Amino acid sequence: MAVITITNDNFEEEVLKSEIPVLLDFWADWCTPCKMMAPVLEEIEKELSGKIKVGKVNVDEEAALALKYQVMSIPMFIVMKHGVFEGKTVGVQTKEELLAFLKL
């Protein structure tokens, strides 16, 4: 599995109906800290492949999802488990911080 692009069209199937926890990254092309997080997310996805799903939500293209989850600053990370919001964190995170956050 790889990091997947989450849109309003696939949100229900990829996130709400997911059997495994989903780490959502709300980001934008113009956001330098967001770009810094991309390799960290790819590394986490590779390490935990099959145990979690990593999805990226472009806030410029998916404004409805950003509004729904009250994204005020990016990068913002949300954990969803079995379609239920478990928590969020904002800003650049180390790999270790994100891994700890996933264990909510």
Kindly report the pTM of this predicted structure: 0.94
Residues 6+ away with beta carbon under 8 Å from 71 = 26, 59
Using 50, 70 and 90 to split pLDDT, how confident is the model at 2? Answer: confident
CATH of 4-102 among 3.50.50.60, 3.40.30.10, 3.60.21.10, 3.90.1200.10: 3.40.30.10
How many helices (H) and strands (E) in the chain?
4, 5
Candidate list 6, 34, 37, 102, residue with the active-site label: 34
Candidate list 31, 38, 48, 90, residue with the active-site label: 31
- Note the pLDDT tens digit of each residue in 65-99: 999 999 999 999 999 999 999 999 999 999 999 99
Tokens (6 digits) for 44: 């986490």
Using 50, 70 and 90 to split pLDDT, how confident is the model at 1? Answer: low
Does residue 71 have an active-site annotation? no
* Structural domain boundaries in the chain: 4-102
- Note the pLDDT tens digit of each residue in 30-55: 999 999 999 999 999 999 989 999 99
Other beta carbons less than 10 A from residue 24's beta carbon: 24
Q: Are 87 and 78 in contact (CB under 8 A)?
A: yes
Separation CA 67–CA 49 (nearest Å): 29
Q: Are 52 and 21 in contact (CB under 8 A)?
A: yes
Does residue 28 have an active-site annotation? no
